[in-house]
Amino acid sequence: MKKHARTQEVIRQPMKITILAVGSEAQYQPTFDTAYQYLKKETADLSAELSYAICRPEAAELFAALRTATGQSEAVVLLLSPEPAAVSTALRVVCSGLERTASVDAALQRQLETRAARMGLSLGYEQLADLVSFPAGAVPLPNEQGLVQGYAIPARRQLLLALPALPGELSAMFPSAVRPLLAKLGGRAVSYATVRVLELDQFSVPQEVARLNQSPHLNITARHRSGDYELNIEATGATQTEAEDYLKRAVTHMQQTFGIYLYCIGNRPLPQIVIDGMTRHGLTLATAEWGTGGLLIEQLSAVIGANGCCRAAYNDSHIGTELELPRRLLQAPEDNGALIAGLLAQQCRKAGHTALGLGVYCQPESGQLHVALADKNRIWNRRLAVAEPIREDTAQIAVWQAMNVLRLYTAQYPKQLPGGIEPAELERRVGIGSLFARPAASNHSGKDQKPSMEKKAHTKRPAAPAVDAEAIKGTNLIQRIKMKALTKSDKIRIILLAVCIIVFLASGIYIINNKLQSIKNKNLSDELAGLYDPDGTTDISVDGYPKDYIRGFEALYQRNPDIAGWVKIPDTKLDYAVVQAEDNDKYHRADIDGKYNDWGIPYVDFRVDQKKPSYNTVIYGHNMGDGTMFGYLQAYKKLTYYQQHPLISYNSVYRKDMYKIFAVVVCKADDPDFDYHNFIDSDSDAAKNEYIEKIMKRSIIKTTVDVKASDRLLTLSTCDYTFRDPDTNKLIARLVIFGRAVRDGESEAVNVNAATLSPNPLMPKQWYEYIKKQQEKKAAEELEKEQKAYIALWLTADEIAVAGDMPTADLYAKAQERAALAERCLTAEELTASDNTPEKIKSLIDYRQKLFKMLLTQDETDNNTASKKLTLCQERLDILQQEVVINGEKKKLFEDNTLFASSWSQLQGRYELLAKQKDWKTYLSVADVQNLNISGDALKSTLTANQQRAQKYLTAEEIAKYNNWNDLSAAINKAEATRKALEAEGLKAGLTQAEMDKMTLAELQKAVDRAKNKVEIDKTIEAIRVLNPGATGEGGKPLSDMTLDELKALLSALQQERAALEAAARSAGMSNEEIKKYPTNAALQQAVNEKTKAQREALIREILKMEGHPPENELQNKTLDELKAIKAQLDQRAALIAEIKALATAVNVTVTDQELAAMSLEQLAAKKQELANQKQLMNEIIAKIKELKPDYNPAGKTLEQLQQDLAALQNPPTPPTPPTPPTPGGEGGEGGSGEGSSGEGGGESGGNNPAASGTSGEGTTA
C-alpha cells in the first residue's frame, strides 16, 4: 500500500543547448569565450547542457554545423560577432535552411544609421541592410546598445536564437528577452516581466529588490545606469497559473512602492516613451539646460521621431539673449535653482514657439538639481538632492527627472497635470528682467511713488450756508459742485483727477513731440539718401569737390563738405550718411545741416584718417528710443540677428568696403582696460593683436570670422542702457560692433551657422556693480514676497492670524519646518496633488505623525522616505488589524482608536509575534492578544507554554484540527484527564512517574499497553519473528515500540501472506512436509520461486516442441500461469487439428497442414464444427439411401455424390416404350438374347442408379 501512495516525481531530461559562435576565431575568440561562460552561468538553473563551437563566417561550414546542432539540441544559439560578414552569413544560412525570406526594418535602419555615425562607423548600404534584416516569422530581440540585433525563431519543441556576441550587449538583452524563451522551452512553470524604474530620492531600488527576493517564488535581477533601473522579474510556481499570480503580485507591489518613478512595465527606454507620448498628442518641445552639457536634448534627439517634437534647444550660453534671467538669480544661482528652472522652461517655450518648455538646472558639485515643465497655463517644478556616492551622475539623473516629468504630463494629457503654479505667479516671485534689459527707473526709497500734495495757505472766506445732509444725499459730484457742498473725499478725488489730466497732457505732448521729431529725422534721412549715388552714375559737377573723393558723394558734399561716407547694413533699416568734423562734439546733437537734433547724425572719430586710411575707423551714432539711427544695432545681442546680418557696408569718400562682423561687445565708455575708441592707428602688430584679443574676450557672440593684424577694422559705437555708473547713475554703457574689411580676393560669405553665443564674455566691473545695486532692494522685496507666498502655501490662515506681528522671516522658518515635515510624511503624489491646501496638508501631517509614532521605530521614522514608511505601516496594520472572530462576529483584532491610543513600544513585540507565528490563534486567546497590559514578551511566553502543553497531551495531527485556543484548550484538558488515568494504570503496571513524564500521550498509551500486555506482546512478537525475523512497524518502527493491537494487525497480515504462500507452494507441487522446512515467509517465497522457475523451464521446453508456439524470448517474459495458459491453448489447438483431420478423412475432404497452421483457435473450432456437421449430414443421407437400397456401399463417396445418389433413387427415370416384338420363329433366339442383354444392361444401369437397377431387375426377372 505504501509504495502506491508515494508521489511519482517527474524527472526532466536536461535541455541541450548548442552555441555556435560565428566570426573570426583569431580576432573574437576571447569575446566568444566570455559570452559562452556568461550563458553557462545564466542557464545553470534551467538544467541545461551546453556545447560550444566556433564557426568561420562561411555559408557551407555554418550550414553543416547548424544542421547538426538542430538534430541534437532543443535550442541553438548563434553568437554573432560585430563583423558584417558574420551577420550576413548567418542571415542567409538561416533563411536558406528554413526556407524563409528576409525582411528589412526601415525604422530600425534609420536608428542604426544614426547610432553607427555616433560610434564613428561608416557602413555601406548592404551592410546596414543585413543588420536590420530578419527571417520571416522571427521575433526581433532589440539590442539598444550596439549594431548587431537579435532574433528568435521558436518551433514547437525547438528554438533558434541569433544574439550579439559582445558580452555587454548580450548581458543587457538576456534577462528580459532570452531567458523567458529558454525557460518556456524547458517546460518550467515560470512567468517573466520587466519593469523600469528611476531611483531618485524617494527610495532605494536595490533594497526593495533584496526584500522581494526573499520570496522563494521570485528571482529579480537588476541592471542600471545612473539611476535608471531595468528589473527583470522571474516568478515560479507549482503551475503556470500560480507562477503568473506571483508575478502579478510582485508587479503590483512595485507599482505601489515606486509610484510615479516606475515608468514602464516592459522594456521601452524612457526617451522613447517621452517622444511617443508627445507624438501621439501632437505636442512640441523646447529645452533649456544649465549644468548638463546638453545631455537632455542629445538623448531625446537620438530617438526616431524626435525631429517632429523637439523644435528648439537652449543652454546657459543663451542667457542674456534668447533667455532672460534676473541678475539677482544669477548672482546666487545655488539658492534660486527652482526659480531658474521655472524661468528656463517658460522662456524656452516662448523663444521656441512650442507647446511645452522643459528647463533643467543642476549643480554636479553639490548634487542639487531642479527641473521645471511649462505649458501656456502652468509651470511644474521638481527638486532633487543627489547622494554623495553617485554625485558624478548628477547630470544624467537630472535628465531622467526631466524626462519623467514630461512622461507624466503626456500620460495625463489632455487632462491637467496636478499641482504647478501659473506663469503670473512665477513672474511675481522672480520679477521680469533681462541680462541686457533696460532697468527700471531707480527708486531709492523702496516705497511706491505717489504724487506729492503740498498744502497751500489760503485766506479764510465766509462760511457758506450750511447744506443739510439730507439735501446732498443721493447727489453726484457735479450736483455737489453746483451746490457748493463738496465733501472731503470729493476734494481729494478732484485733486487726483486734475493731477492725472496734467500728467496725461504732458505725456501726450512729450510723445507727440518725440514722434514729430522722429518723423522729421526720418524725412531728413530719406532726403539724404536721395542725394547719395552709391553707384556713382550721376554726372554732376560741384565746385571744390576733392579730386581724390570717389563719385557718388557730390550732392552730399554740396550739402555739407563734412560728408565722410555712407554706412549701411544690408537688409536692415540702418542706412545713413556719415560725417566727420574737427572734433567729436560738432555733430553729437546736430544734423547734417548743423541744426540741433537729438538724433544727430553718425560721425567718424575726428582722429581717423580715412584717406590713409587709419587701422580702425570708429563711427559713433545715437541709440534712440524709437530704435532708429544706431539703435538698430541693439538687435545684434541676439545670435539669430547676427546670423541674418553678418556684413556691414561702409563706403567712405575715398573707397568702398564691405566688412565682416567679428565681435559684438557691451562695455563701459572710457574704460582704461578697454579703450576701444582711442585705438585708431598703430604700427605695432603686437599691439594690434593684443587689441583684437581684448575684443574677442568681450564679445557676446563667437563668430567664425578670423582677424589679423593686417586687416582694417570698422567700429560702430552707440549708447547702451544695460547698466549705469553705480555711483552717479550716469549712462556709461556702450554697445560696439566690430568688423574687419573683406580681404582682396576673399568671398563675402560668412559661416554664420557655426556661430554661437559666448558662454562667459568679459564684462566691465561696473556692469556687475550696477546690476547688483539696482537689484538689492528689489531682491529684498521679492524675497519677502516669495517668503509670504511660501508661508501661505504651508501655513493655515489660523496659524498666520495667531502669529500676529511675528516677523516674516520667523513665519517663513515655520513654513520651512512644515514643508520639511510634509516631505517626511507625504508621498510625491500627495505633495503635488492639485487640491492641496495648507489645512489639508497640516491635517494629513498630524495624522501621519500619529501613525508613524504608533507603527514605526524612531530610526525607521527618521531614515525612510514617506512611501517606504507608509509601506511599512500598511504591512504592520495588515497584521495588527487582521480579522478575528469574537462571539461569532468578525472584527478587526485592533480597532483604530485602540491603536492610536498606543505606541510602537507597546505594539512592537506583539506585532513581531503575530507576524512570525501565523497560527497564533491556535495557542493564544484573542482577548489576551488585545490586552495591551500584557507585554509582547509575556504573550510569547504564554504561546510557548501553550504549545508545549498541547504537544504534551496531543499529537501534531490532533493539534492541526483546531484553529482557536478555546477549542484546543478544551481538547488539551480532555487529553490531560486521559493521561492522568493512563498514568494511574502505568503505575500499577510497574512504570515510574519519571519515565511517564518524558512521554507524550501516544507514547504513554503504548507504554501502558506494553506493560499490561507484556506476555501476550512477547508471544505475538515471537510469532511475528518466526514468519519475518526482520519485521518492523510502519515507518520502520521497532516491534518493541508497537502496541498489542498494532502487533496483532502485523501478525495477521504476515499469517495471511503465509497462507497465500503455502497455497502457491502446493500449486507448485510442494508437499506439506516440504513446506514445513521453510518456516519464514521469505524462505518459503524463495522455495516457491525456485520451484516455479523449474516448472517454467520444463513448461517452456514442452511448449517449444509444440506446433504454433510463440518465440522463445517472448516465453521467457511470461509467468508460470501464463505459460500454462499458453500450453493449454497449444494442447487445445493440437486436439482440434487431430479431430479436424479425422473428420476430413471421414467426409472425404482434403485439409492441408499449411491451411490448419494459418488458422486461429477460433477458426479451428469453427472448421471442426463445420466438418462434424458435414459428417452428420452424410450419415443421414446414407441412412436414407440404404432404406431404398440396403446393399448400398458409401465408401469413398463425398457429400455431393451421396446427395446425387439419393436423388437418383428417390426420382427414378420413366421406362422407355418397348419395341414391337419380333415374329415367333425367327426372332425367338434374339428375344432370348435380348432379354439377356436387357437384364445385363439393367444390372449395369443399377450400378449407377440403385433405384433404376432394382426396377429393371425385377422386370427382367419377371
pLDDT digits (tens, 9 = 90+) for 1098-1152: 888 888 888 778 888 888 888 877 888 888 888 888 898 899 989 888 888 888 8
- Residue 1027: pLDDT band by 50, 70, 90 thresholds? confident
Residue 905 has pLDDT above 60, yes or no: yes
Question: In this structure, which topology does domain 557-763 adopt according to CATH?
Answer: Sortase; Chain: A; (2.40.260)
- Mean pLDDT check: name the lowest of 197-206, 400-409, 469-478: 469-478
- Mean pLDDT check: name the lowest of 49-58, 1065-1074, 1160-1169, 1212-1221: 1212-1221
| Residue 883 neighbours by CB under 8 Å, 6+ apart | 890, 891, 892, 893
Grid look-up 450750511 returns 466
Enumerate helices (H) and strands (E) in the chain, giving the number of each: 49, 29
CB contact at 8 A, 983 and 1003:
no
pLDDT digits (tens, 9 = 90+) for 822-847: 888 988 788 878 788 999 999 999 99
Q: How far apart are CA 822 and CA 837, in angstroms?
A: 12
Neighbours of 751 (CB within 10 A): 11
- Mean pLDDT check: name the lowest of 22-26, 449-453, 883-887: 449-453
- Mean pLDDT check: name the lowest of 164-178, 267-281, 500-514, 563-577: 500-514
CB contact at 8 A, 1208 and 1188:
no
Tell me what pLDDT residue 660 has.
97
Supply the mean pLDDT for the chain.
83
Residue 348 has pLDDT above 70, yes or no: yes
% of the chain at pLDDT higher than 90: 27
Tell me what pLDDT residue 17 has.
93
Q: Is 44 helix (H, G, I), strand (E, B) or coil?
A: helix
Residue 516 has pLDDT above 80, yes or no: no
**Phi-psi group of 128: left, alpha or beta (phi > 0 → left; psi -120 to 50 → alpha; rest → beta):** alpha
Please give the angle made by the CA atoms of 204, 208 and 212, to the nearest 5 degrees.
Answer: 170
pLDDT digits (tens, 9 = 90+) for 288-300: 999 898 999 999 9
- Residue 766: pLDDT band by 50, 70, 90 thresholds? confident
pLDDT digits (tens, 9 = 90+) for 995-1018: 888 887 777 877 888 787 888 888
Residue 446 has pLDDT above 80, yes or no: no
- Residue 466: pLDDT band by 50, 70, 90 thresholds? low
Residue 735 has pLDDT above 90, yes or no: yes
Q: The C-alpha cell of 916 is what?
A: 512570525
Instruction: For 269-430, give the CATH class.
Output: alpha beta
One-letter amino acid of 671: D
Tell me what pLDDT residue 1237 has.
40
Write out the DSSP string of 919-964. THHHHS-HHHHH-TTS-HHHHHHHHHHHHHHHHHHS-HHHHTT--S
Write out the DSSP string of 809-820. HHHHHHHHHHHH
pLDDT digits (tens, 9 = 90+) for 612-667: 999 999 999 998 866 678 888 999 999 999 999 999 999 999 999 999 999 999 99
Mean local confidence (pLDDT), 883-893: 89
Phi and psi angles of residue 737, each rounded to the nearest 5 degrees, phi first: -105, 125
Cis, peptide link before residue 1213, omega less than 30° from 0 = no
CATH architecture label of 13-187: 3-Layer(aba) Sandwich (3.40)
Q: How far apart are CA 1242 and CA 1253, in angstroms?
A: 6
- Residue 2: pLDDT band by 50, 70, 90 thresholds? very low
1083 vs 692 pLDDT, higher one: 692
Residue 568 has pLDDT above 50, yes or no: yes
CA distances from 740 to 704, 712, 755, 1129 (A): 12, 6, 16, 125
Instruction: For 189-267, give the CATH class.
Output: alpha beta
Neighbours of 844 (CB within 10 A): 15
% of the chain at pLDDT higher than 70: 89
Neighbours of 146 (CB within 10 A): 20
Tell me what pLDDT residue 687 has.
95
1167-1193 residues labelled b (16+ CB within 10 A) or e (exposed): bbeebeebbeebeebbeebeebbeebe
Q: Is 371 helix (H, G, I), strand (E, B) or coil?
A: strand
- Residue 606: pLDDT band by 50, 70, 90 thresholds? very high
- Residue 604: pLDDT band by 50, 70, 90 thresholds? very high
- Residue 1249: pLDDT band by 50, 70, 90 thresholds? very low
- Residue 54: pLDDT band by 50, 70, 90 thresholds? very high
Q: 1127, 1069, 1113: which is closest to 1094 by C-alpha?
A: 1069
Domains 13-187 and 189-267 share a fold: no
Neighbours of 28 (CB within 10 A): 22
Locate the domains of the chain by residue range.
13-187, 189-267, 269-430, 557-763, 774-845, 868-977, 1131-1215+1247-1262
- Residue 437: pLDDT band by 50, 70, 90 thresholds? very low
| Residue 242 neighbours by CB under 8 Å, 6+ apart | 189
717 vs 439 pLDDT, higher one: 717
